Amino acid sequence: MNRITESAEKLFDYRGRHVFVAGGSTGINFGIAEAFAKCGADVGLISRKMDHVDAAVDALRKHGGEVFGTVADVRDAAAVEAALEASHKEFGDIDVLVSGAAGNFFATATGMSTNAFKAVVDIDLIGSFNVLRLAHRFLRRPGASVINVSAPQSVNPTSHQAHVCAAKAGVDMLTRVLAIEWGAEGLRVNSIMPGPIEDTEGLERIAPTAEAKSHMLSVIPMGRFGTKQDVANMALTLSSELCAFVTGSVIPVDGGRYLSGGAGYLQNMEHG
């Protein structure tokens, strides 16, 4: 089973390609950035925190390619645009754009303020819109692959996740609309929908206790949490010529987790 994982770098050659990852300094998004770096890509990334950006840039440079990283909050359109311009100046047109910045916390709809709901919608949905809209002029035509990082909450109504459910459903609809609007330019737009992925802040936020993790495992048909490499493998494949006719798709990488539904399954879980 590890055969493909171990040979991902041998299967895909992204040397000389410009991969730009929004939210790329940690977690799933860093995993995607690192997978492309291992395949030879030049990587541009933005994140909210300078120390995270510095650590990510250092780690990615070890794989040999060029790396550009800077602080930019996806809610700040001017900062995003400046970062895209700088990365474009370094590496040219963007071959792969990954929009994955996200926020989350656990609260019922009545347990969060309007501002709390808006905080997640602003990061996940408006932030994605900013990244996609502003990156459009820098994308390689034809051929660029645009990937939004979604979540099972996009299709599964999940208690304590009204903000994330609404935001990620919006992100996936953005994927479909832009696939239509940008298709004639030779640009493909897809969503990857990771299920629960081990060693991520996201998993710790939604399942912070052993009991919560065990509960979550019980709704994953494959019986394990995903790895960052599982998600990165899909990004590598989706951005390759193998998927040249795939656009407007929302692709779960979740061991079948989304098939188990979401209504109320987290209702009674304890959260830290």
Interface residues for ligand COA in 120-139 (CB under 6 A)?
120, 123
The reply on whether position 220 binds ligand COA by CB under 6 A is no
The reply on whether position 166 binds ligand COA by CB under 6 A is no
Cβ neighbours around 271 below 10 Å, total: 14
Backbone angles phi, psi at 174, to 5 degrees: -60, -40
Could you give the CA distance from residue 79 to residue 257 in angstroms, rounded to a whole number? 36
The reply on whether position 103 binds ligand COA by CB under 6 A is yes
The reply on whether position 105 binds ligand COA by CB under 6 A is yes
Could you give the CA distance from residue 227 to residue 140 in angstroms, rounded to a whole number? 30
Query: Among residues 116 and 246, whose Cβ is nearest to ligand COA?
Result: 116
Only segment of 1-9, 57-65, 98-106, 140-148 that touches ligand COA (CB under 6 A) = 98-106
Could you give the CA distance from residue 193 to residue 200 in angstroms, rounded to a whole number? 15
The amino acid at residue 51 is D
**51 exposure class (CB count in 10 Å sphere: 0-12, 13-18, 19+):** exposed
Q: Indicate which single residue of 112, 146, 155, 250 sits in contact with ligand COA (rule: CB under 6 A).
A: 112
**Closest distance of CB 56 from ligand COA, Å:** 15
Interface residues for ligand COA in 36-75 (CB under 6 A)?
none
Query: Among residues 148 and 247, whose Cβ is nearest to ligand COA?
Result: 148
> For residue 183, which of 121, 249, 228 has the smallest C-alpha distance?
249
Alpha-helical runs (H) found in the chain: 2-6, 8-11, 27-38, 50-61, 77-91, 114-121, 127-135, 162-182, 201-206, 210-217, 228-238
Query: Among residues 2 and 113, whose Cβ is nearest to ligand COA?
Result: 113
Query: Among residues 55 and 243, whose Cβ is nearest to ligand COA?
Result: 55
Only segment of 54-62, 90-98, 108-116, 130-138 that touches ligand COA (CB under 6 A) = 108-116
> For residue 71, which of 59, 60, 55 has the smallest C-alpha distance?
55
Only segment of 57-65, 99-107, 130-138, 190-198 that touches ligand COA (CB under 6 A) = 99-107
The reply on whether position 205 binds ligand COA by CB under 6 A is yes
Contact set with ligand COA (CB under 6 A): 102-105, 107, 111-113, 115-116, 119-120, 123, 201-202, 205
